[in-house]
């Protein structure tokens, strides 16, 4: 009988220390309890949400890219034709 091989991957965690005033800590603990989370999990979720909401890149650069794109006439069919072409592509891809 061949031996069983089990592979493990470890996830490296880092500790983050944040200095808070007592009133801030108490507010955050209340918010975590209200959400039914530990303070650590509540902080991870809040930091993750803040990261997703933060804008990346220059607003001016984004607007310049949109304005440049608007100067071009890209050929595109009406939505019904476009959806029919997509569906046809799905059908063709499923054929042997």
Q: For 74-85, write each residue's pLDDT tens digit.
A: 788 889 999 999
* pTM score over 0.85: no
37: part of which helix (H) or strand (E)?
Answer: none
| In the chain, % of residues over pLDDT 70 | 88
Distance CA 44, CA 65 (A): 34
Distance CA 86, CA 70 (A): 24
Per-residue pLDDT tens digits for 16-50: 999 999 999 999 999 999 999 999 999 999 999 88
Structure tokens at 96: 């042997």
Distance CA 50, CA 31 (A): 16
Per-residue pLDDT tens digits for 42-62: 999 999 988 887 877 788 888
């Amino acid at each position: 009988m061949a031996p069983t091989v089990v592979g493990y991957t470890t996830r490296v965690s880092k500790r983050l220390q944040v200095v808070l005033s007592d009133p801030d800590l108490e507010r955050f603990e209340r918010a975590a309890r209200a959400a039914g989370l530990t303070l650590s999990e509540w902080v991870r979720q809040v930091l993750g949400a803040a990261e997703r909401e933060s804008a990346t890149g220059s607003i001016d650069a984004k607007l310049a890219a949109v304005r440049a794109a608007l100067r071009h006439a890209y050929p595109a069919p009406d939505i019904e034709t476009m959806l029919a072409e997509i569906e046809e592509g799905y059908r063709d891809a499923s054929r042997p």
